[in-house]
Chains A and B, each alone.
Chain A
Amino acid sequence: MTMSATDRFFQTLADRKHEELLEKVSGTLRFDLSHDEQTDHWMVTVKNGDVAVSRDDSDADSIVRMPKDLFDQLVVGRVNAFTALLRGEAAAKGNLELPVLLQRLLPGPPRGKQPRPEAAPTPSPGAAAVADAHAGAGAGTGIGASAEAGRR
């Protein structure tokens, strides 16, 4: 069975073990992703930047709900998490600091145009990129970032 973008996202997050952007926070964040009349649960536990991922469905400090196909789009940068929330396509409750910080790991939308030709790629200043070769649509520094990430 091929991995979905969602599976890859959580796999990458789990593999990284530590995430600099999350060093300020500790807490649990559960994703409830619905598809085919069922709900997948992904539990992300953060302790001062150390990240663990499980399929636990126990209670969490914050809970984010949305259809799984939307989350598939979100983790490759084709959908923005905040506007999906405002549109009512996704929901979040509990402490929202963790989801806000976590969404920063997601790639940006596909670039409308290429960066300036003279701009050489530089190492990202934020979280070191976890390039996910399968999700090369986005440009950014986070999980799922493509190679063109960087300066303009």
Chain B
Amino acid sequence: MSVAQVKILDGNTFVVSGPNGDIQATGTDTSGMFSYDTRFLSDWVLTVNGQRLTTLSVDDVHYFESRHFLVPDTGTVYTDSKIAVVRERTVCEGFHEVLTVMNHDENPVDLTIRLEAGSDFADIFEIKDALASKGKYYTHAEEGRLVLGYQRDSYHRLTEIIASSPAQYDRQGLTFNAHIEPDSEWRTDIQVDAEIRGLGGDVVHVGHAWGANRSRSAGEMQRDLERWVAHAPRLECDWDPLKRTYRRSLIDLAALRFSPTIADERSLPSAGLPWFMTMFGRDSILTSIQALAFTPELAATTLQVLGAWQGSRTDDFRDEDPGRILHELRYGELTAFEERPHSPYYGTADATALYVVLLDEYERWTGDAKMVCNLEHEARAALNWIDEYADLTGRGYVSYQRRNEESGLENQCWKDSWDSLSYKDGSLPGYPRTTCECQGYAYDAKIRGARLAREFWHDEEYAKKLEASAEDLKQRFNRDFWVDDGGYFALAIDEKGRQLEVLSSNIGHLLWSGIVDDDKARTIASHLMGDRLFSGWGVRTLAEGEVRYNPIGYHVGTVWPFDCSFIALGLRKYGFKEEAAKLAAGILDAAEFFQGRLPEAFAGYPRALTMYPVEYPTACSPQAWSTGTPLLLLQTMLGLEPLGDHLIVDPVLPAGIGHMELLRIPGRWGRIDAFGRGRLEVSTGQAAIRPQLGATLPDLPHI
């Protein structure tokens, strides 16, 4: 099922099928019905009189709902069927499928309608890494239901399939005999439930997507989505693709909401479909920051939940330290049996500092002082982690080296692939590794922590200590990481303090953090927007010309939209408003090519070469921080910035956008409207923003 997969989801339950609605999982693909990191259904194939069905049209109505119009496959290119089939599927703690078969003939028909069902109960990690299961499977075909089960010791997961019409249930599926009169239809409802069985056989909801109650109906989900979109600020502008991208982002963000065990019905962003429908420290925090001006409640939940799971002890298997914020939490079999450390796994070098950054930024937007006081202990523990646990080399920097050498993460920064960090000659450094952006985040966390200490915790002494420590870090950093002959900051330093002198997008995050000396900012900005890094669509993860540069290398040349959104914010922070607007224009223009849904990454080819952004082959989509990217770019272009109880609006729009209005922005001011005018009045039109980006394209057909 490599082509045209249909994905629907709700929380961490999702279904990936072919266009005809069938699921036939093979190899390492992610077809199936998944819940809590486990595949509960790997086969789900519909036949009518033994014939497979072919797709006339498919419609993912909402993110949780799909509709497939089908006819029996005649084996030829012609379809002239008197029979038509509609499958309407809704995700809800498993899924609900309404199957309708229509007879368009003038005679009655008798049909055998069959659904083949099977499950491998694979942990999503098994699929990713192609591992074999260790437990036992069972199947119970009973009167009125089919149960597929999997047990390994007391670990027990099962899938229950129940149809509303009479059916014969056997071990491989269920069969209906339907008699349909002319111009009539036959219909059945099928419920496929994913169940986790706990101690004593009780049904356990270890963290149902929507709290402890049974899942919601499609109608409730529809109303929830409408509320969500209506509650978010409204965007008006003369560039239509941006409005579509914005709406797509809001809906995808709704889809990616996830309510972990302890959050009741509140939710936080999970990282992305299909591999990362779970809680991630880094991804949840950065997405929450991106969405602060739009849906600040995501940040509130992120802070509470990550705070509740904050590391409290030294655990080598989980790379846990006191005060450390988690990297990833999983619920599958391999986690349960501790063959993977995600219960939760703490191996991340940046989430802990970013946690403090989010807490401060959240208060600046919302004025929620209670949260800051409630999380004082967590914020102090996080700040303490930076100095007491993260300085692995004794140089006063945040470094990382996994203690779990079997299944821990080798790279604990956001560029986590094996070759993402290299020296100028392309060789890879040893450990511990000390990446530049983590020092920026640590600096920012200290500065923000000082504000929180002074204004909310009433601890002036601690505030001064944090400020002094931040200033010291900034001075050392600007000396130790500065590549003199390049005029930029090294990607990292190694265990001996030697620089990895390559030019990378990470320097943009340094602007966002504020760690860059003022007199160095201009040269950083010109590198970011120069030919080696800026592709015309966005900033490459690694500059063209570096030994490991590869325009389709995961972290060594591709463009990551989320990366660019923070770079744009950083450019803005140091006063490079035009540059920020141009970068925003590039990314938002790319979004149009992906129907408003930015992928995780796209290729770093120069714009003039491909004329369209080439999607990275296995990019995760929708992905939370790509989904949040247009939101942060809107904030950046409009120059939205909380100041006391006010919202500063200082718009600099990309050339070609005439006006932009963001209405009803939530925050400590209540709701407020922001207006931006372009410097040039231009006629509206999609191509209007393109001339500044390096290559001019003809207008796209309207998407």
Contacts and interface: CB of A to CB of B under 8 A. Distances in A.
B202 interface: yes
Contact of B388 (A108, A112, A139, A151): A151
A122 B323 CA distance: 13
B414 interface: no
A112 B312 contact: no
A127 interface: yes
Given A21-B377, A80-B338, A96-B261, A140 B312 contact: yes
B262 A65 contact: no
Interface stretch (B149-157, B165-173, B215-223, B231-239): B149-157
Contacts of A111: 314, 316
B2 interface: no
Contact of A125 (B320, B335, B336, B385): B385
Contact of B308 (A66, A80, A89, A97): A97
A9 to B, nearest CB: 15
Interface stretch (A10-18, A35-43, A52-60, A142-150): A142-150
Contacts of A145: 313
A134 interface: no
Interface string A123-148: 01111000000000011111001000
A88, A126, A139: which has the most chain B beta carbons within 10 Å? A88
B357 to A, nearest CB: 18
A109 B198 contact: no
Contact of B313 (A66, A82, A142): A142
A113 B197 contact: no
A125 B198 CA distance: 35
A141 B312 contact: yes
Interface residues of B, number: 47
A79 B206 CA distance: 18
B322 A124 contact: yes
B336 A24 contact: no
B432 to A, nearest CB: 11
B314 A125 contact: no
A100 B261 contact: yes
A107 to B, nearest CB: 6
B313 A91 contact: no
Contacts of A125: 322-323, 380-381, 384-385, 388
Given A86-B155, A96-B262, A101-B308, A66 B199 contact: yes
B336 A87 contact: yes
A107 B206 CA distance: 23
Interface in A19-42: 20-21, 23-24
A42 to B, nearest CB: 17
Contacts of B197: 88
Interface string B322-344: 11000000010001111000011
B276 interface: no
Contacts of A65: 199-200
Interface string A89-102: 11100011100110
Nearest to B394: A118
Contact of A100 (B198, B308, B388, B403): B308
Residue of B154, B198, B310, B384 with most partner-chain A CB within 10 A: B198
Contacts of A106: 313
B314 A140 contact: yes
Contacts of A83: 335-338, 343
Contacts of A97: 262, 308
B154 A87 contact: yes
B389 interface: yes
A108 B61 CA distance: 47
B198 A88 contact: yes
Contacts of A127: 312
Contacts of A89: 154, 199
Nearest to B307: A24
A46 interface: no
A109 B320 CA distance: 11
Contact of B198 (A77, A82, A85, A96): A85
Interface string B282-316: 00000000000000000000000000111111111
14 contacts: A24-B374, A65-B199, A88-B154, A88-B199, A100-B262, A107-B313, A112-B317, A112-B403, A125-B380, A125-B385, A125-B388, A126-B312, A126-B322, A152-B321
Given A97-B308, A100-B262, 17 more contacts: A24-B374, A82-B344, A83-B337, A85-B206, A87-B155, A89-B199, A100-B308, A101-B308, A109-B316, A112-B316, A113-B316, A124-B322, A125-B381, A125-B385, A140-B322, A145-B313, A152-B389
